[in-house]
């Protein structure tokens, strides 16, 4: 559909004889909040790398704002799952956010009122004013994550990609981040694609879900996708979807299917609603 921020059409990735992604197709409309859900090893990070243009596809196309070879980097903001910030590095939170404005351009940043205002606005949006002048390396993991989100958003991307941002958080922390992302995405009119192996923290805010299992994907609304028949077909084995007081529990039964590497029984993360 034209106007989509992101469109994947039949994307396949084969590496060393293994199929990591198998004909994955889905679209994300402007401003949509999409969850990329799937167990570990399903291919989520590879999919992200494909979207960012860091991984070549064996088949299929990736269209960003309708263009296959456009200024993709300008349009997509990215927050990685793991990063290491040395506590001694002389870079304040606000400096890192400011770097987001034009890090891809050569030369040195020229301080200006507009820059400062932009940085203040972003810091306010992610609720980081409190520690704006602290060295990034000395912030907690959650605070750093918020700074990285601000850094990604300040360049006004059309799509924000977050790789497993909830992985190391407890339920309270996860809900906070999700609420923050939903709010900021609405304010900045940015589409969000966030990968996770736990579906429940995202249920309240997802417009669309892309469910990835063993390299294959199904996309649609939560009602369309999170169903026993759909997921069983995706996994290639029997899957039960249970509703426990409004929380979803996805349980995959034992099977001989070797597509899902080493997962028998409930796959990690989805069994415990937390």
Partner 1 sequence: MVNAWTVASMVAVVAGVVGFFTVLRGSAFAAHAIPNGSFAGAAGASLIGVSTLFGLGVFSLGGALTIGLLGRRGRHDVATALALVMMLALGALFLSFSVEYASEVYSLLFGEVLGISPNDLAPTAILGTLCILAIAVLYRPLMLSSVLPEVGEARGISSFRMEMLFLAVLALATTMTVPVVGTLLIFSLMIGAPAAARSFTDRPLLAMGLSVAVALLIVWIAIAASYETNYPVGFFVGTASAISYTIGRLWTAVRSRRTAQPSHI
Partner 2 sequence: MSNFLSPIFASGFFESEAVHIALAVGALVAIVTGVVGVFTVIRGQSFAGEAFGDLGTTGGAGAYLVGVGTLWGFVIGNLVAAGAMEAIGVQRARGRDLATGIVLGAGIGLAALFLYLYTSEHSTTGATVTILFGSVFAISGATIPLILLLSAVVLAITLTLYRPLLLSSVSAEMASARGIPVRLVGALHLVALALAAALAAITIGTILSTALLVGPAASALRLTRRPLTALLTAAGIGIGAMWLGVVLAYDSYYWPPHGTVWPVSFFVVTLVFITYLLSGIPEARRRRRTDRAPSASPAAQPATPS
Residues 136-155 that bind partner 1 (CB under 8 A): 136, 139-140, 142-143, 148, 151-152
Q: Which does 18 bind (CB under 5 to 8 A by kind): partner 1, partner 2, none?
A: partner 2
40 binds, among partner 2, partner 1, none (CB under 5 to 8 A by kind): partner 2
Q: Which does 91 bind (CB under 5 to 8 A by kind): partner 1, partner 2, none?
A: partner 1
Q: x/- site string to partner 2, residues 77 to 116, per CB under 8 A?
A: ---------x-x----------------------------
Q: Which of 215, 200, 186 is closest to 247 using CA atoms?
A: 200
Nearer to partner 1 by Cβ, of 132 and 202: the residue is 132
Any contact of residue 45 with partner 2 (CB under 8 A)? Answer: yes
Segment near partner 1 (CB under 8 A); pick from 8-16, 25-33, 70-78, 181-189: 70-78
Q: What is the DSSP string of the chain?
A: -TT-SEEEEEEEEEETTEEEEEEEEEEE-TT-EEEEE--TTSSHHHHHHHHHTSS--SEEEEEETTBSSS-HHHHEEEE-S-----TTS--BHHHHHHHHHHTTSSS-PPP-HHHHHHHHHHHHHTT-GGGTTSBGGGS-HHHHHHHHHHHHHTT--SEEEESSTTTT--HHHHHHHHHHHHHHHHHHT-EEEEEES--GGGTTT-SEEEEEETTEEEEE-HHHHSSHHHHHHHHTS-EEEEEETTEEEEEEPP----SSTT--SSPTTTS---
41 is an interface residue for partner 2 by CB under 8 A: yes
Where in 161-180 is the site for partner 1 (CB under 8 A)?
A: 161, 169, 173, 176
- If one asks whether residue 158 binds partner 1 (CB under 8 A), the answer comes out as no
Least Cβ distance, residue 35 to partner 2 (angstroms): 15
224 binds, among partner 1, partner 2, none (CB under 5 to 8 A by kind): none
C-alpha distance from residue 222 to each of 73, 88, 169, 192, 273 (Å): 29, 44, 23, 16, 16
CA distances 183 to 127, 165, 190, Å, are 11, 16, 10
Neighbour-count burial of 123, counting CB atoms closer than 10 A to its CB (0-12 exposed, 13-18 middle, 19+ buried): buried
Judged by CB under 8 A, the number of residues near partner 2 is: 17
Q: Which residues, numbered 30-69, are part of the site for partner 1 (CB under 8 A)?
A: 52-54
- Residue 42 contact partner, candidates partner 2, partner 1, none, CB within 5 to 8 A by sort of partner: partner 2
Out of 58, 168, 189, 261, name the contact with partner 2 by CB under 8 A.
261
List interacting residues with partner 2 (CB under 8 A). 15-18, 20, 40-46, 86, 88, 258, 261-262
List interacting residues with partner 1 (CB under 8 A). 52-54, 72-73, 76-80, 83, 85, 88-92, 95-96, 99, 102-109, 130-131, 133-136, 139-140, 142-143, 148, 151-152, 161, 169, 173, 176
């Amino acid at each position: 559909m034209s106007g989509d921020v992101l469109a994947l059409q039949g994307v396949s990735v084969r590496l060393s004889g293994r199929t990591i992604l198998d004909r994955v197709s889905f679209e994300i409309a402007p401003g949509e909040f999409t969850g990329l859900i799937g167990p570990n090893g399903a291919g989520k990070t590879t999919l992200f790398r494909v979207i960012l243009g860091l991984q070549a596809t064996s088949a299929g196309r990736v269209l960003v704002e309708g263009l296959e070879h456009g200024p993709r980097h300008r349009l997509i903001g990215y927050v990685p799952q793991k990063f290491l910030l040395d506590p001694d590095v002389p870079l304040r939170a606000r400096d890192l956010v400011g770097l987001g404005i034009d890090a891809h351009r050569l030369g040195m940043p020229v301080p200006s009122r507009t820059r400062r205002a932009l940085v203040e606005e972003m810091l306010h949006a992610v609720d980081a004013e409190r520690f704006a002048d602290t060295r990034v390396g000395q912030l907690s993991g959650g605070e750093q994550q918020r700074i990285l989100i601000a850094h990604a958003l300040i360049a006004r991307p059309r799509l924000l990609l977050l790789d497993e941002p909830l992985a190391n958080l407890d339920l309270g922390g996860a809900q906070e981040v999700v609420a923050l992302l939903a709010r900021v995405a609405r304010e900045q009119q940015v589409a969000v694609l966030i990968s996770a192996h736990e579906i429940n923290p995202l249920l309240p805010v997802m417009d669309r879900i892309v469910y990835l299992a063993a390299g294959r994907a199904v996309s649609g609304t939560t009602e369309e996708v999170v169903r026993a028949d759909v997921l069983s077909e995706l996994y290639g084995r029997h899957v039960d979807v249970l509703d426990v007081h409004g929380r979803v529990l996805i349980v995959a039964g034992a099977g001989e299917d070797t597509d899902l590497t080493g997962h028998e029984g409930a796959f990690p993360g989805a069994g415990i609603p937390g």
